[in-house]
Structure 1
Amino acid sequence: MPKSDTQQFPHLEHMIHLNHAAVAPWPAVTRDAVRGFADENARLGSSHYPAWLKLEQLLRRQLAELINAPSADDIALVKNTSEALSFVAYGLEWQVGHNIVSSDQEFPSNRIVWESLGQYGVEFREADLNSGASPEEALFAKVDQNTRMITISSIQYASGLRMDLERIGRFCRENGILFCVDAIQSVGAVQFDVQAVKADFVMADGHKWMLGPEGLGFFYCRPELREQLKLTQYGWHMVDPLGNYTYKDWKVAKTARRFECGSPNMIAIHALQASIQLLLETGMDLVERRLLENSRYLCQRIDAMQGVELLTNTDAGRYGGIVSFTAGDKDDEIFQTLQQRNVFCALRGGGIRFSPHFYTPRALLDEALEVVARGL
């Protein structure tokens, strides 16, 4: 493997990390950013706080670039995906009889919050993504005149199925339906364009494919809809003028900062900014190409194995960084062997899930596949 890769991703020297769909290892630049921030804070306290605020604004601009948002003003920094989903679920006005359409493959974050609206008479409908001519058709078949929103994961966390977001976005706009995307398994892995997919709401955590820390993510709300979301929390950070602590005639910020009620998570901001900088400098086109090459290679090798069923759809445009497979009743045994051999992966959705990133060397994929083959 190239020396530059092992310098930037030192874990490559002693483990095979195929679990970016869960929690990613930090690059060296991210580790160094956190060390630098901690050292500065210990020596100088918050005397450089104005510089930290500039870094916070830089992170917003970088996130806007990463998802092609119209402006950095459209980016709110949030604790996690679930918080952002809750902003949408409890910010909109619902009526008894409204329904929300989603799928039967969602991670709990994009299910529980919508199910909780049942107390207000809102129905949550789960489409079987394998029941229609396409996964999108399965979603559309659940829509009726009372459908207010379609909410979907861009890539399904267990099967790795990649949705045709542009098609869903067009359908929603044509039918006056809101479109919400949990993009946690896409952003940082493949190119993502909120404007092209016509998304109204997009959210993602930074700790998976963006290679950042837990506890910090982003929330994009289409500018035309920001003021339609009823706010559920208030504080000093979400008002204008910001920083005037004695001003009594405050107003809620018109930018996405309106969703940030209190102090920012500065240590996580330093970390995520470094990680996003690495992705942008690498180029998301190159990141996506290498990541898809790794996934395609895994799919081809696994599909050729006797006694294994590949669960991930290999059609063009239908997969991202997640490759899932099953060996039936041998899954648990093979998974435990993989862990013992320092192949870090996951059991998800009735199978074993591999999720390498763009930098994962082919030789390490071969080592992981050899462990699987021996287990068979």
Structure 2
Amino acid sequence: MDPHPTALPALGSRALFPSLAAGIYLNHAGISPPSALVAAAVQDALGAWAELGSGAFPRFMLQRDRLKEQLSGLIGATARDLALRPNTTQGVIDVAVSLQWRPGERVLTFAGEFPANVTPWQQAAAAHNLRLERLPLDGFGDGSGDGLSRVEDALRGGGVRLIAVSAVQFRSGLRMPIAELSALARRYDAELFVDAIQAAGVVPLDGVAEQVDYLTCGSHKWLMGTDGNAFLYIAPSRVRTLRPLLAGWLSHEQATSFLFEGPDALRYDRPVRAQADFLEGGAQDSLGCVALEAGIAPILELGVPNIYAHVQAYHDVLEPGLQALGFTSLRPAQHDARSGILSVLPPPGLTAAALCSSLGAWGVVCATPDGALRFAPHWPNAIAEAATVLGVVEEVVRVLRHKGEHVH
């Protein structure tokens, strides 16, 4: 691999992924493969640490500040309202632990949510005697408005402290109406928590920070970094209401001054910072932060709206072809409820697991969340690939059906 790649990112070009073995990679909703830009940036950073040791630390402090600026731009926030976290789950835990709960308060979640956005609320409910309620996803993405009506009915019952929702549902690709959910939450004095890991980097989120109280997102899917990094946005109006139970030594104001100011500067009474980064209580993954900055560089250059349009064009070819082969599409009928994910249910007699395994043998990588067959292209996927995918799927279906006939 070229240690200093010169290829420029372009929609539909794999030039920055020379090491990728799969012929067609359609699992960006699972894990995105690091680009040559990411690999080069990490190698460069590792070299700096190897050469300079502690002398490299200031460089990577500045890099983290720069990364926050870039990430905040994706959601219309300011950098001071972001905390860098190790993963999406930790971002959920941070809020679930830090909120000042009152017994009997209600938390609304949705059936089919990824467990990362459920388990911490379950634990909070058990610890604080909360009522955790799960609403169905029926009535979202079909233009009926029934889903939002159901949420409002729940809010009318009173006592709802928080709504926890994924911006995009991991199985179906349903894009949730965050602005409308935000309006309902504010009308009934509830808070809104959003897991954006299946949205940020592929679905436009401009201004979403103005609509939510908390938002977390991991690095290894559509943001195209490596795993083990994430960010958490906390609305400025909410920071001071959180209990700093997860504060660490770096959470204090002037936390490192005792290391540089001479004797008698060591104190334990410095206040905890009243901003989101109080959650950055210890050492950060500097290599992961470098990887994330390199991963989002093409996204920022190409523009999320352009990436979203490119992916929808890919799906527009793939979806009808799959339907013609007997698959049932889960793609929402409502255009603004669509995302980077196209999921389908297999024809009768076939399973998503068998299809996915066979497709992988043909060099087409996809995923099988909860029994669906999920295709998730990103900006490097050429739209022309979709026709090839359909040809492979047709052959795989034929072979699996033939095997099934012989088994029975």
**TM-score interval (norm. to shorter):** over 0.9
Please, which of 6, 9, 15 is the counterpart of residue 7 of structure 1?
Answer: 15
**Alignment correspondent of 1:115:** 122
**Alignment correspondent of 2:214:** 201
Between 347-356 and 115-124, the greater mean CA deviation after superposition: 115-124
- Note if contact 2:113-2:165 (Cα within 8 Å) is conserved in structure 1: yes
Structure 2 CA distance for aligned equivalents of residues 22 and 174 of structure 1? 35
- In the TM superposition, residue 358 of structure 1 has moved relative to its aligned partner by 2.0
TM-score by length of 1: 0.94
Q: Structure 2 vs 1, CA of residues 52 and 366 (structure 1 numbering), >3 Å: closer, same or farther?
A: same
**Alignment correspondent of 1:262:** 282
**Alignment correspondent of 2:327:** 308
Structure 2 CA distance for aligned equivalents of residues 322 and 178 of structure 1? 27
Q: What runs of 5+ residues in structure 2 fail to find an aligned partner?
A: 1-7, 259-264, 398-408
Please, which of 155, 159, 164 is the counterpart of residue 146 of structure 1?
Answer: 159
- Note if contact 2:317-2:387 (Cα within 8 Å) is conserved in structure 1: no
- In the TM superposition, residue 16 of structure 1 has moved relative to its aligned partner by 1.2
* Bigger Rg, structure 1 or 2: 2
Partner SS, residue 202 of structure 1: strand
- In the TM superposition, residue 294 of structure 1 has moved relative to its aligned partner by 1.9
Structure 1 CA distance for aligned equivalents of residues 279 and 23 of structure 2? 39
Please, which of 133, 136, 139 is the counterpart of residue 148 of structure 2?
Answer: 136
Q: Structure 1 vs Structure 2: percent identity of aligned residues?
A: 27
Query: Aligned letter for 2:331?
Result: T
Between 153-162 and 187-196, the greater mean CA deviation after superposition: 187-196
Partner SS, residue 6 of structure 1: coil
Q: What runs of 5+ residues in structure 1 fail to find an aligned partner?
A: none
- Note if contact 2:311-2:377 (Cα within 8 Å) is conserved in structure 1: yes
- Note if contact 2:248-2:279 (Cα within 8 Å) is conserved in structure 1: no
Structure 1 CA distance for aligned equivalents of residues 81 and 192 of structure 2? 16
Partner SS, residue 51 of structure 2: helix
Structure 1 CA distance for aligned equivalents of residues 139 and 204 of structure 2? 28
**Alignment correspondent of 1:287:** 307
Q: Structure 2 vs 1, CA of residues 137 and 57 (structure 1 numbering), >3 Å: closer, same or farther?
A: same
**Alignment correspondent of 2:376:** 355
Between 71-80 and 330-339, the greater mean CA deviation after superposition: 330-339
Please, which of 37, 41, 50 is the counterpart of residue 45 of structure 2?
Answer: 37
1:40-51 superposed matches below 5 A: 40-51=48-59
**Alignment correspondent of 2:405:** none
Structure 2 CA distance for aligned equivalents of residues 307 and 281 of structure 1? 38
Please, which of 47, 60, 69 is the counterpart of residue 52 of structure 1?
Answer: 60
1:314-329 superposed matches below 5 A: 314-327=333-346, 328-329=348-349
Task: Tell me whether 1:346 sits opposite 2:358 in the alignment.
Answer: no
1:18-29 superposed matches below 5 A: 18-29=26-37
- Note if contact 2:212-2:235 (Cα within 8 Å) is conserved in structure 1: yes
Structure 2 CA distance for aligned equivalents of residues 188 and 170 of structure 1? 24
RMSD: 1.9
Question: Which string of whole-angstrom CA distances, capped at 9 and with x for unpartnered residues, describes residues 213-242 of structure 1?
Answer: 111100000001001111222322211113
Query: Aligned letter for 1:239?
Result: H
Please, which of 97, 105, 114 is the counterpart of residue 104 of structure 2?
Answer: 97
Q: Structure 2 vs 1, CA of residues 239 and 329 (structure 1 numbering), >3 Å: closer, same or farther?
A: farther
**Alignment correspondent of 2:75:** 67
Q: How many residues align?
A: 373
1:247-258 superposed matches below 5 A: 247-248=266-267, 249-258=269-278
Structure 1 CA distance for aligned equivalents of residues 329 and 207 of structure 2? 30
- Note if contact 2:341-2:377 (Cα within 8 Å) is conserved in structure 1: yes
Structure 1 CA distance for aligned equivalents of residues 197 and 89 of structure 2? 11
- Note if contact 1:170-1:197 (Cα within 8 Å) is conserved in structure 2: no
- In the TM superposition, residue 375 of structure 1 has moved relative to its aligned partner by 2.6
- In the TM superposition, residue 151 of structure 1 has moved relative to its aligned partner by 0.9
- Note if contact 2:209-2:235 (Cα within 8 Å) is conserved in structure 1: no
- In the TM superposition, residue 14 of structure 1 has moved relative to its aligned partner by 4.4
Structure 2 CA distance for aligned equivalents of residues 138 and 373 of structure 1? 40
